[in-house]
Amino acid sequence: MIVDDAARLPGLDEILDRVRVVAIPLHTRFRGQALREIALFEGPEGWTEFSPFLEYEDAEAAAWLRGAIEFGWSPTPGSSAGRTEIMVNATLPAVPADQVERVLAHYDGCRTVKVKVAERGQTIDDDVARVRATRAMLGAEGRIRIDANGAWNVDEAEHAIHSLCEFDLEYVEQPCASVEELAEIRSRVKYMGIPIAADESVRKASDPLAVARAGAADILIVKAQPLGGVARALAIVREAGLPAVVSSALESSVGIAMGAYLAAALPTLDYDCGLATVDLFDGDVVPPDQSLVPRGGRIPVRRPDVDPELLERHRAYADRIEWWRARITRCHALLAAGA
């Protein structure tokens, strides 16, 4: 059920009375961050997470709150094909090539690696070195996908894909920013047999189906919380008619569980999912035996319990807690107004 009107919203006080804000360090900088702030609260169905990135405006962050409320207040969907586990990929930030082995050592049994490329201040030579080191570590049987987060123009993307294709890319995620550019680069590299995946063109778009209608992608990257919840993400995948990869938004095990239920409910699941990012954290909010870090390259489909001691250990400073409470208040008002 998609929460999209005031009648279905829990009251603001109900959320604020339960909210806990944590700040968990990362062992490797990711998206320029060394510390991840997350708001958690417990609904009738269990713990849920609200964690839009700090720079996101309220209109975008409100979709994340809608997703968090759905997960905490609505039953989770059933699993397709009886899935109880999800195969996941490792995520490699834009680190120097000599740090690849250190970062990937945190992931247990992942056969697929998503490599971040096109980092500001770096060059294509840096990307090639990072992907080469990843291929050397994975061996011939491992799978490599790259993610540019829309940083290239079409010509840059074409040059980069040619430079990196020798490493047998599974797909290229969001090489360019706009739907029109994605359609152009897809047509240019189609002969190479390398699929184009769309992420930001789905989750940040006013019309998440535009990329499918334009024939601009072969694969959709879907994220439960940013898209407004599991139900809405499933509806987008059904209407788009494209294979989907469920990915995370750098969440704790609570947020990853939301993604795991989404992945389990997809009609088909042909690719490993990007739900192993708990391995980027130096800490979590759930007990170790319930943490959704990968084991043997997979995570279970389950809703973990939050550990009060870990909530306290990672509790954010008072000013940051107030910042998040104010943010929740503003986003809740947008949802109540039907925005």
Mean pLDDT, the chain, integer: 95
- Global model pTM greater than 0.85: yes
Catalytic residue, candidates 114, 116, 190, 204: 116
Is residue 250 within 8 Å of residue 30, measured between CB atoms?
yes
Q: Look at the chain and count its residues.
A: 339
Does residue 5 have a pLDDT over 50? no
Once rounded to an integer, what is the mean pLDDT over residues 63-79? 95
Domains and CATH numbers, the chain: 6-76+308-336 (3.30.390.10), 80-300 (3.20.20.120)
pLDDT band at 339 (very low <50, low <70, confident <90, very high): low
58 is in an annotated binding site: no
Catalytic residue, candidates 114, 190, 204, 223: 223
Residues of the chain with pLDDT > 70, as a percent, come to: 98
Does residue 32 have a pLDDT over 80? no
For the chain, list the strands marked E by DSSP.
20-30, 33-43, 46-50, 85-87, 90-92, 112-116, 143-147, 169-173, 196-198, 219-222, 244-246, 298-300
Does residue 8 have a pLDDT over 90? no
pLDDT band at 227 (very low <50, low <70, confident <90, very high): very high
114 flagged as catalytic: no
Once rounded to an integer, what is the mean pLDDT over residues 180-207? 96
Task: Find all residues with CB under 8 Å of 47, minimum gap 6, and list them.
Answer: 40, 41, 72, 254, 303, 304, 305, 306
199 is in an annotated binding site: yes
116 flagged as catalytic: yes
Once rounded to an integer, what is the mean pLDDT over residues 301-308? 96
C-alpha to C-alpha distance for 168 and 25, rounded to whole angstroms: 33
pLDDT digits (tens, 9 = 90+) for 233-289: 999 999 999 999 999 989 999 999 999 999 999 999 999 999 999 999 999 999 999
305 is in an annotated binding site: no
